[in-house]
Amino acid sequence: MVEHDVLDATREAYNAAAVVYAEMFRDSLQDSPLDRAILGAFADVVTASGNSRVADLGCGPGYITAYLDELGLAVFGVDVSPTMLELAREAYPGLRFDLGSMVALDIADGALGGVLSRWSIIHTPPREVPVILAEFHRVLARGGHLLIGFSASEGPSHPTQVFDHTVAPAYRWWPDHLAALLRESGLAEVARMVREPEPTDRRQFQSVHLLARKA
């Protein structure tokens, strides 16, 4: 079980940073064609499965939720931060945003065609991430897809690494290591995208998206 003090600390940190965070990242997809491409591919495979219901877990201020809505998905956002959700509801009043934790989602078994988790597992201690992956598997329908985004560690000898996230303590993952945990949770990798950092990026980390399917 994920420790409550970690969840509480992350919630409070994002409550405090919510306004600045929302302003900083609101238009970030405009300059990220590769991120738009992987989100588009995710939308396509979810739609093709016949179940377009998607949860954006760790939705923050809701701009990715809104983008998936534009792509035709029946999407709703979930976040642990009430302040983030207030900003999301204000910015996108036509969309649904729920307060909740990835540890125990208020979503029925097999209800979703897709789960999106973009940089939302990074604050969870690595030993506790399998609990969250099991929840992703539980709420996905058979044939449903997960798209999970995170920052890469420096190499296979570093399965996970702590990094200096501005808001709360966070972890990077070696992609093959996280892909193995997905397999153990019943989620088979079908594709991955690894994006190199821009020279001007403050953190020179690779950004990774893994696309996995529930068998």
23 residue type, one letter: E
Burial zone of 134 (CB within 10 Å; 0-12 exposed, 13-18 middle, 19+ buried): middle
Structure confidence at residue 8 (pLDDT): 76
10-residue stretch averages of pLDDT, the chain, 215 residues long: 64 73 77 95 98 97 96 97 94 97 96 97 93 98 98 94 78 97 98 92 89 96
Q: What would the pLDDT profile of 91-109 be if each residue is shown by its tens digit?
A: 999 999 999 999 999 999 9
Q: What is the pLDDT of residue 18?
A: 72
Distant-in-sequence, close-in-space partners of 74: CB < 8 Å, separation ≥ 6 = 52, 53, 54
Please, what are the domains in the chain?
4-214 (3.40.50.150)
